[in-house]
């Protein structure tokens, strides 16, 4: 079950005896847990019907599930980070015996409990308990939002604060700040405060107030470099290095930008429009326009050479054939030379 299906079912009042929450989107997962807890452990005695256990042995888990709710129809049982669902995590009980015990118990769960196995990240699908939960529980997958879902999420959260935002401004926001919903939630609050009494959130607002992720700043650096603005690009690199960013993190990002320029240029030459290219590359249209503007300065062969240069340099550093210090600067100067750009 996708997280969107879970929220829709919960809205209709559907509460199952047992769930497994897993996936990389932690913000949505935490929101789902909070919403389910509120529906199950409600009223004046909510705290007395809410139990939270971390990697419990089966006896403790079963004892908590068998405890009758107080002045309520159900009690809520949250089981966090069970070692029986994760790889290599130490446990203080025998896993095979525990799994057999839970396999038997989960077949006869009382209707007075709602149990949630909550895992940070993805559960290990090879684990025996996971295979049991596939049959006897509802697994809810909290995967990262796709572009459409992300735009809807940003717009919905701004609507709650009385604000409107265009699709283009949403795209610029997640491209700049990143796709992590916890960070985006903070940026939404900042944008709403920055706009004040104004209802519309613009792209200019996003540029003025939203944080810029390292990935976005490397994109800007690559854009300056590939546009022939060598001095600006090297200055941006120096700033990133001063802030503790590593060359071997930025070099693959630069290589990816070179590859995207190559693909964008080839697709445009084949008659594709910027909107189609954006969809294929998974980036917003404004980023494609910037990429195409820079790509027009180079031939397809030059763009291919740049991408291979980044990849070869990364391999040489990782294999010990080249020192990391100065490696990225050397690549940037070579790219400038390929395009005939000026470094000042």
Residue 194 CA to residue 212 CA, distance in Å, equals 16
Whether the Cβ atoms of residue 77 and residue 65 lie closer than 8 Å to each other: yes
Whether the Cβ atoms of residue 10 and residue 128 lie closer than 8 Å to each other: no
3-state secondary structure of 108: coil
Residue 53 CA to residue 81 CA, distance in Å, equals 9
pLDDT computed for residue 310 by the predictor: 93
Q: Please, what are the domains in the chain?
A: 3-141 (3.40.50.300), 147-209 (1.10.8.60), 214-339 (1.20.272.10)
Q: What is the pLDDT of residues 215-269, one digit of tens each?
A: 888 888 988 888 888 899 999 999 999 988 899 989 998 998 889 889 988 998 8
Q: What is the pLDDT of residues 80-97, one digit of tens each?
A: 989 999 887 666 778 888
Residue 155 CA to residue 55 CA, distance in Å, equals 37
Q: What is the pLDDT of residues 6-46, one digit of tens each?
A: 999 999 999 999 999 999 999 999 999 999 999 998 777 88
Whether 343 shows a pLDDT value over 60: the answer reads no
User: How is residue 202 annotated by DSSP?
Assistant: P
| β-sheet bridge partners, residue 80 | 54, 118
The two counts, helices (H) then strands (E), for the chain are 16, 7
Most distant CA pair in the chain, distance: 77
């Amino acid at each position: 079950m996708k997280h969107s299906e879970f929220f829709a079912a919960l809205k209709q009042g559907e509460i199952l005896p047992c769930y497994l929450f897993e996936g990389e989107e932690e913000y949505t997962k935490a929101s789902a847990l909070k919403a389910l807890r509120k529906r199950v452990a409600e009223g004046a005695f909510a705290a007395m019907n809410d139990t939270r256990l971390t990697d419990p042995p089966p006896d403790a888990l079963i004892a908590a599930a068998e405890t009758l709710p107080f002045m309520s129809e159900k009690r809520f049982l949250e089981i966090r980070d069970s070692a029986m669902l994760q790889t290599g995590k130490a446990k203080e009980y025998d896993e095979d015996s525990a799994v057999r015990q839970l396999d038997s118990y989960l077949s006869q769960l009382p209707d007075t409990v709602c149990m949630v196995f909550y895992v940070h990240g993805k559960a290990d699908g090879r684990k025996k308990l996971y295979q049991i939960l596939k049959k006897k529980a509802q697994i809810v997958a909290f995967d990262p939002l796709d572009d459409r879902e992300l735009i809807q999420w940003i717009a919905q959260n701004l609507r709650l604060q009385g604000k409107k935002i265009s699709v283009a401004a949403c795209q610029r926001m997640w491209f700049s700040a990143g796709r992590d919903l916890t960070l985006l939630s903070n940026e939404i609050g900042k944008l709403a405060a920055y706009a004040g009494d104004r209802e519309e959130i613009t792209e200019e607002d996003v540029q003025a107030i939203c944080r810029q992720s390292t990935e976005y700043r490397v994109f800007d650096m690559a854009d300056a470099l590939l546009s022939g603005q060598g001095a600006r690009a090297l200055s941006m690199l120096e700033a990133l290095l001063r802030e503790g960013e590593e060359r071997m993190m930025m070099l693959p990002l630069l290589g990816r930008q070179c590859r995207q320029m190559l693909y964008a240029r080839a697709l445009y030459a084949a008659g594709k429009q910027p909107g189609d290219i954006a969809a294929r590359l998974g980036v917003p249209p404004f980023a494609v326009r910037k990429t195409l503007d820079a790509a027009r300065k180079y031939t397809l062969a030059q763009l291919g050479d740049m991408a291979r240069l980044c990849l070869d340099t990364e391999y040489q550093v990782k294999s010990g054939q080249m020192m990391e210090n100065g490696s990225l600067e050397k690549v940037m100067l070579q790219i400038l030379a390929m395009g005939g750009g000026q470094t000042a």
